[in-house]
Amino acid sequence: MKRYFGYVRVSTQRQGVHGVSLQEQRAAIDAYAKRNNLSIIGWYEERETAAKQGRNVFAKMLKELIADKADGIILHKIDRGARNLRDWADLAELIDRKKEVRFAHDDLDLSSRGGRLSADIQAVVAADFIRNLREETRKGFYGRLKQGLYPIQAPNGYRDMGRGKLKEIDAVQGPLVRQAFELYSTGEWNFETLLAEMTHRGLRSRRGTALSLNGLSVMLNNPFYMGLIHIRRTGELFEGKHVPLITKKLYDRVQAVMRGRRTGAMPLRHDFLFRRMLTCGHCGSVLVGERHKGRYVYYRCHRAGCKVTTVPEVTMDNTFKALFSALRLGMRGRGDEICDGDVGEIGEMRDFRDMVEDIRVRSGDERARRESALRLLITQCEERLARLTDALIDNLIDKPTFEARKTQLLDEKRGYADQLEETANGPSVADVIDEFLELANTAEHSYETGNVPEKRDVVAAITSNSSVRGKEPAITLKSPYREMLEMQNPRCCDAERGHSRIDTQALFDILMKAAKEKIGKHQFTDEHTSPQANIAEAA
């Protein structure tokens, strides 16, 4: 009895796990062997497309046949063995070596000229079917991409919603992915420490397992999270219609840290209250925190040749407390005498509120103008993209140039879209002024009752520089808190109470200027200074 190998194949791993094709092929081959009194001495099973050359299992089987380990092979159909002409040529070579190639579904006599011709035709048809299928699949794939859809599995932090539907942000993993971007952008984390922290917080891969270092790197490099779809194999970029998880500004900061354009310290073992927040007044070096006798914390300059600068943590703590107490609008600091004129402070706060409400009404027009300017810039980007596509179609530019300019325009458009969203949903000038006043009046309480991170946040929000010369702290406040503190002089003995109104107006002008600067810094990067400026440049 002649000996044969049985070969069964499916195109994907999923078909092999969830389908019944392998079992059906095996059953058909078994039945064919019994009908023809053939012996199957071994089975070869593969889960890979026959359109691909170099299949490991298929190649191993051919070697065994050439080594005379069997008299031939039995396949279910021709397309199970070969859908590319190279592999069909290998099978034809086996036939020329007098090895039998049989098909359970198509009982062809390959020893005859007519049978070989029929098999050759079927092999060519199978190869053409694969080429056509590949082309149609590619058309469908790129059609989805041009619609802004992501036709493959959603990246970590998003959920698949079905074919032809946008990916949606995962309610659990999405915020964790955003936190990973935010933490890494500070420059204080490397991959190992960030991975450990995010794993502790609950970040997982799509399969529910712990994320790997490579998975973290791929995630932080994926522009999908800011709204763009990048095809790594071809380097092409497409505009996605899904909701971005992060802004372009945050993504760019992460890339800057990753490429080494920004430096940052690694997390230290001792998280002192004023870690990396105090500098030496002599040389400008950062003061290093030290713990003595297990309980006393000092900050000292370690630069060689610098004058000894050492300050106890409790001294800096009391300094900030006194500073924030004096900052309260209309209050002079505890222990000062109070005279009858202080009842006017309530009226002063009322004046501030009236001014804020007035500017709130007028700021709506400025917001509308900014939104209109940004929409115009987005429209200009879309028109330039259309002209760029026309230039490619007319062979005026080559494909690499097209992709480079397309990437630049999509990146620019994404930046304008982020600015538009920030302008529409972000705070107005009046809102920021309210925040300034609220923080000035609550800084003392927030600092005294907060934990270490909360205290650091208050200090960072109000101060721009904190240095120590010798043992004397020197703290510089940010605007407008600096001006607010300068105007907190007692007015009890003023001969003219009318000065109160003048001071209030002057301080309000400072607050409004600082609010506009904060909004401008938040919304416009160095590349996009303002919508109006960019429109003028484009024109």
3-state SS, one letter per residue, for 482-536: HHHHHCCCCCCCCCCCCHHHHHHHHHHHHHHHHHHHHHHHHHCCCCCCCHHHHHH
Residue type, 44: Y
Q: Which two tokens stand for residue 418?
A: 């982020």
Return the CATH number of the domain spanning residue range 3-142.
3.40.50.1390
Q: How far is CA 526 from CA 521, 522, 529, in A?
A: 9, 11, 6
Tokens of 468: 């120590």
Q: Quickly name the fold that domain 158-258 has.
A: Hect, E3 ligase catalytic domain fold (3.90.1750)
Counting as low any pLDDT under 50, the low residues of the chain are 15-20, 262-269, 331-345, 491-502, 523-529, 535-539
The predicted pLDDT at position 380 comes to 93
Residue spans of the domains in the chain: they are: 3-142, 158-258, 316-538
- The answer to whether the peptide bond before residue 473 is cis (omega within 30 degrees of 0) is no
250, 185 contact by CB (below 8 A): yes
Cα-based torsion angle of the residue sequence 461, 462, 468, 469 in order, rounded to the nearest 10 degrees: 140
Q: What was the pLDDT predicted at 376?
A: 93
- The HSE-up count of residue 52 (CA atoms within 13 Å, CB side) is 13
Contact 411, 228 (CB under 8 A): yes
The answer to whether 114 and 143 are in contact (CB under 8 A) is: no
pLDDT tens digits along 452-497:
888 989 999 999 989 988 778 889 999 888 888 887 655 444 444 4
pLDDT score at 538: 46
Rounded distance between C-alpha atoms, residue 5 and residue 367, angstroms? 75
In DSSP terms, 204 is beta-bridged to: 210
Give the per-residue pLDDT at 16: 44
